[in-house]
């Protein structure tokens, strides 16, 4: 899915009643406070012996410069460089990454006494102030950068997503979808934004569009990102609920026979897509209480799907976890 797929006036208009304005290019909401991420070309560059003074020493008077000493034959360098580039890009202009190939430009590394690579030296106000050697995980690189610059605030995409979550919790699906779309124009593969946008479509009973959004998620994100997994569970739950037909018939069956677990189970699934989700929890808890082994522990497993699809912020999720714990461990 291209960024055009997130345009508000186009694909969102049908699902949310067209009350969301024009395309993202002109009508995207402005986040409360956030600097626009710097383009990678502005903060990541190759340096040579000839331009080292200008690109590192002099430039470090404006903001810290990390010099990555590497070589094409160095395996750990190939591990470290992508993590470095990601962390520097996410720092949104607070630092610069200068990459120096020591095979082509060995002089500076020799002057600094660097004997093994990868090595990263941070320059600030014209002086080397910190550094590390060897491949490091992203978390350590981020901590290293924050020691130089202070903690980074939320990115523009993160700000959009936070505002989108607030709007979705308030039931304003149109604004939530617009904000998720704005986040995706900044970070097209952001799992939280993709999952949140899909959830908006699920809530609007536009399951085909929800599936299309999830299909845009890269495999690495789609496999285990919590927001993507939650959206997928919500789609499955909505499909189950839509297939169950008349609730009055299920209610009548339960009234006639409180031990009709299948009718109670089906009613719970149908209710899970409605406002009173706690009632759906109560019906499944009743099955667990009466017959834990029914349908191969099906009631408890269905509750877990509810929790995944609803998300941790849904009050019925906390309510259900407490009720389930009470039944299982009392």
Annotated catalytic residues are 74, 77
Whose structure tokens read 């331009």? 51
3-class state of residue 206 by DSSP: coil
Whose structure tokens read 């994100």? 221
- Work out whether the CA dihedral 267, 271, 273, 274 comes out positive or negative: positive
Name the DSSP class of 101: E
Task: Give how far Cα 315 sits from Cα of 171, 311, 318, 320, Å.
Answer: 14, 9, 6, 9
User: Using CA atoms, how far apart are residues 114 and 289, in angstroms rounded to an integer?
Assistant: 67
User: Using CA atoms, how far apart are residues 319 and 132, in angstroms rounded to an integer?
Assistant: 48
Burial class (CB in 10 A: 0-12, 13-18, 19+), 237: buried
User: Using CA atoms, how far apart are residues 263 and 153, in angstroms rounded to an integer?
Assistant: 50
User: Using CA atoms, how far apart are residues 313 and 170, in angstroms rounded to an integer?
Assistant: 12
CB 210 within 8 A of CB 201: yes
């Amino acid at each position: 899915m291209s960024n055009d797929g997130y345009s508000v006036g186009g694909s969102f208009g049908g699902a949310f009643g067209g009350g969301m304005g024009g395309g993202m290019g002109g009508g995207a909401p402005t986040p409360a406070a956030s600097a626009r991420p710097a383009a990678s070309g502005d903060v990541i560059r190759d340096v040579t012996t000839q331009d080292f003074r200008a690109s590192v020493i002099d430039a470090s008077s404006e903001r810290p410069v990390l010099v990555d000493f590497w070589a094409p034959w160095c395996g750990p360098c190939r591990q470290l460089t992508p993590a470095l580039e990601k962390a520097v890009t996410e720092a949104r202009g607070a630092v610069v990454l200068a990459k120096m190939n020591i095979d082509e430009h060995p002089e500076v590394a020799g002057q600094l006494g660097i004997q093994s690579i990868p090595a990263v030296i941070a320059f600030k106000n014209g002086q080397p102030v910190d550094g590390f050697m060897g491949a490091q995980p992203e978390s350590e690189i981020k901590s290293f950068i924050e020691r130089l610059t202070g903690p980074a605030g939320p990115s523009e995409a993160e700000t959009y997503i936070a505002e989108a979550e607030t709007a979705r919790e308030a039931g304003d699906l149109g604004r939530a979808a617009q904000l998720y779309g704005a986040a995706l124009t900044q970070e097209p593969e952001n799992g939280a934004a993709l999952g949140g946008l899909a959830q908006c479509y699920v809530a609007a009973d536009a399951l085909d569009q929800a599936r299309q959004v999830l299909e845009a998620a890269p495999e690495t994100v789609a496999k285990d990102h919590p927001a993507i997994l939650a959206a997928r569970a919500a789609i499955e739950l909505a499909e189950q609920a839509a297939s169950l037909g008349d609730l009055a018939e299920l209610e009548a069956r339960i009234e006639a026979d409180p031990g009709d677990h299948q009718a109670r189970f089906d009613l719970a699934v149908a209710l899970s897509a409605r406002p009173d989700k706690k009632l759906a929890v109560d019906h499944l808890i009743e099955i667990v209480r009466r017959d834990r082994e029914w349908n191969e522990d099906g009631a408890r497993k269905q509750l877990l799907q509810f929790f995944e699809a609803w998300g941790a912020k849904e009050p019925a999720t906390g309510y259900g976890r407490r009720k389930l714990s009470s039944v299982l461990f009392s």
